[in-house]
A = this chain, B = another copy of it.
Amino acid sequence: MKQILVKKNILGTNDEIARRNRALLREKGIFTINMIGSPGAGKTSVLEKIIKSLKNEINMTVIEGDLYTTKDADRIESHGIQVLQVNTGGGCHLDALMIQESLNNIDIEDTNFLIIENVGNLVCPASYDLSEDMKVTVLSITEGNDKPLKYPSMFQRSEVLIVNKMDLIEYTNFSMEELYRDIKSLNENIKVFEISCTTEEGIKDLADFFKEKIKEKGEMKNA
């Protein structure tokens, strides 16, 4: 597994670099998501389920953001997927320069689907464009349904919300009704998937959704 260390951004603003990355990803027809969520929301588990569902038909690459350790990248690599670990050395989010350096360090010629797993943090990553097509927020049932109103930026800027650990809902006081009310008040167009990595509830629908988006992006390349 490859691994890069983070250097300081001396090449331009985050948005400028994100624009350059985005042009490259468009040229190559690579559908890209930025997965965000609290520590322990289950981002890596969701990612593993997506990989298992799609790896026979789609070429995937994963960029794994973590403060330290290669624990998550090790989990992804065990599925036989190209993965690059980015360690921020304590930094609380990924930025576009880290993605630029990552793209220079991996082979993206055959990639159709690039998944960036951000540092576990529901606050800071909201402010950094990583050149993604979609921000995908993972919220787990055990975090409570009050999180969208308490951390609105992330939910306002996400195209997709994955509600994870649905199998635990009966042991909590999580209200799906309040969640939908709050999330729609922040972001009318957000697409919500209710899933469980334990029971596999909702995984197929989620994988099918991404498959369609990957196909659309690939067709744009050839258009």
Contact = CB atoms under 8 A, between A and B. Distances in A.
Q: How many copies does the complex hold?
A: 2
Nearest to A141: B142
Given A68-B150, A123-B67, A150-B71, A92 B92 contact: yes
A78 to B, nearest CB: 15
A66 interface: yes
A123 B171 CA distance: 28
Contact of A146 (B71, B122, B123, B151): B71
26 contacts: A38-B38, A38-B39, A38-B120, A39-B150, A39-B151, A40-B140, A40-B144, A40-B147, A66-B150, A67-B152, A67-B153, A68-B149, A68-B152, A71-B149, A72-B150, A90-B123, A92-B92, A92-B123, A119-B123, A120-B150, A121-B123, A121-B124, A140-B142, A142-B165, A142-B168, A168-B168
